Amino acid sequence: MSEIKIGVITASDRASKGIYEDISGVAIQDTMKEYLTSEFEILYRCIPDEQEQIEATMKELCDKEKCCLVVTTGGTGPALRDVTPEATENVCEKMMPGFGELMRQVSLQYVPTAILSRQTAGIRGNSLIINLPGKPKSIRECLDAVFPAVPYCIDLIEGPYLEVNESVIKAFRPKAK
């Protein structure tokens, strides 16, 4: 059993019914494998856009499975069934507005509809939860922008020490004050 666990939640009515393949969840897993040199285990969940179920899944991955990082895809738009940010806010003790701000700013370089994404991030216990966009291309753009701060964030919430492949991504750890 690996010590580092990363949760990946795809919130999608259609993917969870098998109507289409969940390429977004796969894209996140592939990116994590590229980024991290530490050994880690992925816990993957593909569920419908039901707020209660998303919250329950987040709690399971954070509290029971002890994932230091839980990444979601899907459900961050303005549509009726888009409830991932609300689920995130409900389960987190601390919100991290800087993640959503930076991700929207990065996505704005590609599409003006980036402002429609309500993605956020927050802390639950010793876990960091980050909402990502739905499309693989945007997922990568957003992860490339925010991931340099993720290992240090996990240090600060007393999670495991993540080591990254510096030729792919830099992990920034400021020296202690």
Burial of 19 (0-12, 13-18, 19+ CB in 10 A): exposed
In which element (H, E) is residue 29 found?
helix 23-35
Among 26-34, 47-55, 106-114, 160-168, the segment contacting a copy of itself (CB under 8 A): 106-114
Q: Which of 117, 132, 143, 162 binds a copy of itself (CB under 8 A)?
A: 117
In which element (H, E) is residue 32 found?
helix 23-35
Q: Does 47 bind a copy of itself (CB under 8 A)?
A: no
* Residue 24 contacts residue 47 (beta carbons within 8 Å): no
Instruction: For the segment 142-171, give every residue that binds a copy of itself (CB under 8 A).
Output: 146, 148-149, 152-153, 156-158, 170
Can you list the alpha helix ranges (DSSP code H) found in 92-128?
97-108
Number of residues that bind a copy of itself (CB under 8 A): 44
Residues forming the site for a copy of itself (CB under 8 A)? 77-80, 82, 86, 94-102, 104-105, 108, 111-118, 120, 123, 128, 134-135, 146, 148-149, 152-153, 156-158, 170, 172-174, 177
